Structure 1
């Protein structure tokens, strides 16, 4: 392996006061471009970037990713005021690039396909150009203007969320495998001409026929047909067949192509607290590193230490002491993959670097943390099941999503359907709380933040109470306990306080669908193997899309607001 990438977007979020931050990419609307405020903000960004890059380089990373090509690539088709804004962004980013290069780090920029302005759309229609033609010309000019940029990280399977307000807002353009294949064949010659790298991400959110790219071997093979030998192409894959969750086996597509590949890993775990408490990934990533030793042409990794999720949590990796758990994950990850160290050796190295006394206590704390995350944040029996819906592998985490904890009768019914060993789940919750008590003691011994473990204990205590609601016969007492626990949690971690909290969404009204019929529906709509069944091709992939469109128009209140407003919206899955 020779490419060790880490995202460096943290400095660009300093001072963002929104309650919930979209961490999917830099918010350019947050960046000031005029006045005294602009001068101060950009100076602070460069200072933070200098600190970040120094730490990343010392850990062993040799490249950073930043956002994004679209805001820096100029074109004659853009409106005059847009070109003026692009010119200002280019000036500021060139100064940022100088900081990165001063640490000997390569620069890669992200790019979504596709973003445009009204003027560009008008020209595309008038001249009958394809998007591929436009992007080829745009990227040719961009790579000429920025020789310091080593390559572009291309995302084709997800676009900007519904909350994004920007001069450029990306939307999904590529919809089927042959179209993506033609797209790559059109763009790769541009990168070959400039001797740069095109890092092509297989991540998708399930939309359109290309939506199964990350796990379907047929789609994966079709997309890469005829481009495997390009020296400018690197394929980037998340480690599993879903997002950054646990309980996912290593994606087998790493072993199905000779094209250069990197693995994507997340050290600021967006579904596991975003670094507010220890969510250690060391042993999980060590297993992936060991398996990948058998994969052909693995050239590196990409670590997301800040990117990902719509959450209020805002600790900045490699910049703030409070981000110690993310920094620890990041340090151990690069050591495990680059130096082939054992987790225990890497943890000891981190402790020595940070001046942490008693590294063995830290290691024991991390073992307990790994157990508690797997046994209480997840419901293990459900998480181990391989389930697919349409073109998406169902995430192994059901009752927690980003910073939301869902305690409702509908979640109870679904878990009751999939989980057989209910008493085992309740015992796991009890044992996890005991381990959390031990973790507080260990944190004191190794001078790690005890308050983070206390916060984890308070949050996970509600998850343990929820287990009783999920897996025991309902009575009023458990509802009262949950409501009291929620009230105490909100009082201890008040809105607007220094500690951001989870949102606990409770709804105890009986779910309208009886358990028997819910089971039939789940069996019909979900499958336990990757390949599509006949019922999938007839019902879930086609008829269900039409049904959803009708419901969203005529009965929009049937769809929870959270599902409609979060990220790209649940309707994306039904495209």
Structure 2
């Protein structure tokens, strides 16, 4: 199978989407112009101009394929609402022009697709006619491929659906609940793709819902879905680790199972590490994965997410906005490492030369310091190194920062104090990282990179250093005062949105009601330190706990933090 080096290109479709927190999980279709006219024409012209610049840069760097959203909004069907069908007709015209931008530059177009996405009318008709999801999708794709011969393939997501921030007539739902259903979906859709000589890229990403929820890391689930499947159309797409795009994760061992073609998903606009607002360099991290993947089974390339992912106020658009230098740097180095096996330092030098930056050696030194600061201050290293599972998900190695939020509260303090046995080392690490940040600011002019981005990073990480001190020392009123004053100064210096938008600092110093002893018992009961399920997981955690959670959600909803209920799909999905 030919090498495949994919990059996502949805950034231009967010132009003018002026909200405090943007959901970058897919194109905000409700924001796109719904009618014609000069304003709509101007908006689409701007999108095409941005996509042209993006395509020129991506193809020059060596990407041969692109992903865009999505089949659902471009595939017409008689069961859809009339007004929506008229809008889809307009989308089809506009996207055909967008596709041409990439195909004329030798880049294959792939469209994302959730299984399954409904409108109210579509869902009603499917129930009324007792239509199976797989049958409907096979018919839909058959017609779609005829309408769009320039589309080379589809990218299917079955383990996550639209979050609570998606406001659209189309809403996706999780319908694949068991491994056998996922395999049957492939068996029903692959013949359609083979008939039209199109590629079906199947993502193993899941958020832990239902029995299929451990597909991305559980070897038996993985092999039960893919073992023995032989199709020239099928490509399995996996994130590099057993969780989301975090550090401290070993390479996913499923890359070494089955002979089906695979690609590795890598994120260069790091949604949990600042989204390109400051340097969160991935070069050395991805170089290690690339080295290991050389020994894996039938890995044919990578999928680079340079824009998709996260609910954040940050909005620099990769390969287009000059301010997106840190994401561009990550993206350039990633494709050089993954495609050409270029050493990281040589790739950084090549990027510095292409962008006419300053001293490349100063930039490499700055990036080494940045890598250290991210690993040791954004993350708490001793906690991040621990392997922890809850139900069907691997616990993220990052607790205190989530998308555009920094949490400084007593519950996080108690959790980290339970897991971290050497708090003094964590405090020394934070102090050293703050010194590194000052060194990075001093290096920035020589390296030819924005000093303001490094100052923003220092100001943000100063809050993290204060949070570290709060976590691993005895609480005093003076510490609370320092944190509140630092939060006020940070809010005064940085705006809510726009270039260098600030993080939300969520503080709560009220004592957590669970005593340390009982917290420890709960952790040992609910979490495990190995992948395999314990007997108690099978008897209690996977089943009974789901019922308990549903009772709590109805009778004691205030026990569940608002952030956990409202962000993305909501925490309840983990208990399905």
Query: Corresponding residue for 1:312?
Result: 313
Task: Identify which of 115, 118, 122 aligns with 1:113.
Answer: 115
Q: Secondary structure at the match of 1:70?
A: coil
1:383-532 alignment runs, 5 A limit: 383-496=384-497, 498-532=499-533
1:358 aligns with 2:359: yes
Query: Corresponding residue for 1:128?
Result: 130
Give how far 1:31 is off.
0.7
Confirm or deny: 8 A CA contact 1:285 1:333 kept in the other structure.
Answer: yes
Query: Corresponding residue for 1:321?
Result: 322
Query: Corresponding residue for 2:540?
Result: 539
Confirm or deny: 8 A CA contact 1:239 1:264 kept in the other structure.
Answer: yes
1:90 aligns with 2:102: no
Query: Corresponding residue for 1:69?
Result: 71
Q: Secondary structure at the match of 2:275?
A: coil
CA–CA distance in 1 between the matches of 2:407 and 2:256? 37
Query: Corresponding residue for 1:17?
Result: 18
Query: Corresponding residue for 1:56?
Result: 58
1:199-218 alignment runs, 5 A limit: 199-218=201-220
Q: Secondary structure at the match of 2:246?
A: coil
CA–CA distance in 2 between the matches of 1:122 and 1:308? 31
CA–CA distance in 2 between the matches of 1:78 and 1:447? 53
CA–CA distance in 2 between the matches of 1:413 and 1:125? 48
Q: Secondary structure at the match of 1:487?
A: helix
CA–CA distance in 2 between the matches of 1:116 and 1:499? 37
1:371 aligns with 2:388: no
Query: Corresponding residue for 2:277?
Result: 276
Query: Corresponding residue for 1:299?
Result: 300
Confirm or deny: 8 A CA contact 1:174 1:210 kept in the other structure.
Answer: yes
Confirm or deny: 8 A CA contact 2:179 2:221 kept in the other structure.
Answer: yes
CA–CA distance in 2 between the matches of 1:381 and 1:237? 26
Give how far 1:461 is off.
0.5
CA–CA distance in 2 between the matches of 1:549 and 1:497? 39
Gaps of 5+ in 2: none
CA–CA distance in 2 between the matches of 1:340 and 1:192? 32
Give how far 1:156 is off.
0.3
- In structure 2, the CA distance between the partners of 1:498 and 1:181, relative to structure 1 (3 Å rule), is closer
Q: Secondary structure at the match of 2:496?
A: coil
CA offsets 1:468-519 (integer angstroms, 9 cap, x no match): 1111111111111111111111111133564300111111111101000000
Give how far 1:432 is off.
0.1
TM-score (norm 1): 0.99
Confirm or deny: 8 A CA contact 2:165 2:568 kept in the other structure.
Answer: yes
Query: Corresponding residue for 2:260?
Result: 259
Give how far 1:257 is off.
1.2
CA–CA distance in 2 between the matches of 1:395 and 1:72? 35
Confirm or deny: 8 A CA contact 2:315 2:498 kept in the other structure.
Answer: no
Confirm or deny: 8 A CA contact 2:238 2:263 kept in the other structure.
Answer: yes
Confirm or deny: 8 A CA contact 1:181 1:225 kept in the other structure.
Answer: no
Give how far 1:150 is off.
0.4
1:219-258 alignment runs, 5 A limit: 219-227=221-229, 229-258=230-259
Query: Corresponding residue for 1:147?
Result: 149
CA–CA distance in 2 between the matches of 1:566 and 1:192? 38
Q: Secondary structure at the match of 1:501?
A: coil
Q: Secondary structure at the match of 1:53?
A: helix
Query: Corresponding residue for 1:563?
Result: 564
Greater shift in the superposed pair: 410-419 or 217-226: 217-226
Confirm or deny: 8 A CA contact 2:315 2:499 kept in the other structure.
Answer: no
- In structure 2, the CA distance between the partners of 1:497 and 1:183, relative to structure 1 (3 Å rule), is closer
Q: Secondary structure at the match of 1:189?
A: helix
- In structure 2, the CA distance between the partners of 1:437 and 1:335, relative to structure 1 (3 Å rule), is same
Confirm or deny: 8 A CA contact 2:236 2:260 kept in the other structure.
Answer: yes
Give how far 1:99 is off.
1.2
Confirm or deny: 8 A CA contact 1:49 1:96 kept in the other structure.
Answer: yes
Give how far 1:33 is off.
3.1
CA–CA distance in 2 between the matches of 1:33 and 1:207? 34
CA–CA distance in 2 between the matches of 1:559 and 1:311? 22
Query: Corresponding residue for 1:289?
Result: 290
Give how far 1:296 is off.
1.7
Gaps of 5+ in 1: none
Query: Corresponding residue for 1:42?
Result: 44
Root-mean-square deviation (CA, aligned residues, Å) is 1.0
CA–CA distance in 1 between the matches of 2:361 and 2:447? 8
Give how far 1:240 is off.
0.1
Q: How many residues align?
A: 574
- In structure 2, the CA distance between the partners of 1:373 and 1:420, relative to structure 1 (3 Å rule), is same
Query: Corresponding residue for 2:29?
Result: 28
Task: Identify which of 186, 195, 214 aligns with 2:197.
Answer: 195
Confirm or deny: 8 A CA contact 2:25 2:309 kept in the other structure.
Answer: yes
CA–CA distance in 1 between the matches of 2:80 and 2:498? 43
Give how far 1:128 is off.
2.2
1:330 aligns with 2:296: no
Query: Corresponding residue for 1:168?
Result: 170
Q: Secondary structure at the match of 2:154?
A: strand
CA–CA distance in 2 between the matches of 1:414 and 1:64? 41
Give how far 1:74 is off.
1.1
Q: Secondary structure at the match of 1:308?
A: coil
